[in-house]
Amino acid sequence: MRSDLDTMMTVLEGLTSRTSSSDGLAAERRPVPFADAVPAGAAPSAEDLRPVHDLLDTLLRRRSVLQYGEQPVRTDVILTLLREALGRDRDDWGLDGAAGALEAFVFAFRSEGPAAPGVYRVTAEETQFLAGLDELGPAEDLGVQREFSTAAGIVAVYGDLDRADSWAGSHGYRVCMTRAAMATYDFNLRFQTQGLVGTLFGGFIPSSVRHLVHGDGVTRQPLLATTYAHPLES
């Protein structure tokens, strides 16, 4: 068994560097805008957002799930929970201006309620419909495990690594990654309070949606994803 930790320690020490590995001018660059995006419809009512499990119950029940019920999910609820999680990231860290904002893309395969199936963009500030499922291609292409595509939808949280690196080098990258992880877990636990299930996963395939989300791998790079769905037994 390999017990040499030198390589790992070198990587960890490298993450402490605050020297930008680029030109430090990311604030002068902007991710490609979405010219054809349209604002998503009305937010769900407070009743629609009411949790079915309290905090203790949610923490006791929580687990990663890869088998899903076939019922569609209220995408308007998903969009609202996600936007609230990104709002908490913006407000808690206070880094959007200096290090870039998180943004998320929702791939809603099975939807009920006012929001149609399709691709959505969500930030702390806005929620937009980008494209229908016909433009997405096969859902199985989005992840390294086929099970992900059997969920009602997938949410991928993206970061601006260009801004994070210009702000604080490799340390900026790890803060950006930590923010994405916190926001993804925040969202994942919130939808579990609604009785939904899913799993966080690292195996989201950026190239599968690069054309739709203008993912250039620098100003817009997926960092973590989660599935969501009704549980199999309901």
Ligand X SMILES: Cc1cc2nc3c(=O)[nH]c(=O)nc-3n(C[C@H](O)[C@H](O)[C@H](O)COP(=O)(O)O)c2cc1C
Coil/strand/helix, residue 64: coil
Residue type, 199: T
**Contact pattern from residue 37 through residue 56 relative to ligand X, giving x for each residue in contact according to CB under 6 A and a dash for the rest:** --------------------
Specify the residue, 26 or 157, whose C-beta has the smaller distance to ligand X: 157
Is residue 67 a contact point for ligand X (CB under 6 A)? no
Q: Is 201 in the site for ligand X (CB under 6 A)?
A: yes
Number of residues that bind ligand X (CB under 6 A): 9
Which of these ranges, 33-41, 48-56, 83-91, 200-208, lies near ligand X under the rule CB under 6 A?
200-208
DSSP for 127-183 reads EEEEE-GGGT--GGGGBSSGGGGGSSEEEEEEE-HHHHHHHHHHHHHHHHHHHHHHH
Give the integer Cα–Cα distance in Å for 176 and 172: 6
Question: Shortest approach of ligand X to residue 197 CB, angstroms?
Answer: 10
Please give the angle made by the CA atoms of 73, 139 and 158, to the nearest 5 degrees: 80
Geometric angle at alpha carbon 101, from 99 and 102, rounded to 5°: 125
- Write down the least CB distance from residue 185 to ligand X, Å: 8
226 binds ligand X (CB under 6 A): no
Which residues, 118 to 177, sit near ligand X by CB under 6 A?
145
63 near ligand X (CB under 6 A): yes
Question: Out of 97, 114, 203, 217, which residue is the one contacting ligand X (CB under 6 A)?
Answer: 203
What residue has token string 């979405």? 34
Residues that bind ligand X (CB under 6 A): 63-64, 66, 145, 199-203
